[in-house]
Amino acid sequence: MRCPFCAHDDSQVKDSRPTDDGAAIRRRRQCEGCGARFTTFERIQLREMTVVKSDGRREVFDRSKLERSISVACRKRPGG
């Protein structure tokens, strides 16, 4: 994490705890360059998974397609 005071690239986490609403993590950090302390908030960023098809098209991941394909593959196995 870059220090906001001296722009040094390394900092050390001194304290870490969830925020009151539980949607983020609050971290107290200390710069290894200048020794200044600062706070960062880390939030989860959810993204949709995208499948890149063999022809280059992009398609939103569909779990049911994967389940269906695995089911078909298992039916073709001996004993299944």
| Cα–Cα dist 42/2, whole Å | 14
Residue 20: its pLDDT value, please?
86
What percentage of the chain has pLDDT greater than the value 70? 98
Question: What would the two tokens of residue 41 be?
Answer: 């908030």
Who contacts 16 (Cβ-Cβ below 8 Å, separation ≥6)? 25, 26, 27, 28
- pLDDT surpasses 90 at 79: no
pLDDT digits (tens, 9 = 90+) for 18-54: 988 888 999 999 999 999 999 999 998 888 899 999 9
| Cα–Cα dist 54/11, whole Å | 43
- pLDDT surpasses 60 at 80: no
Say whether pTM exceeds 0.85.
no
Q: What angle do CA 30, 33, 37 make, to 5 degrees?
A: 25
- Return mean pLDDT, the chain: 92
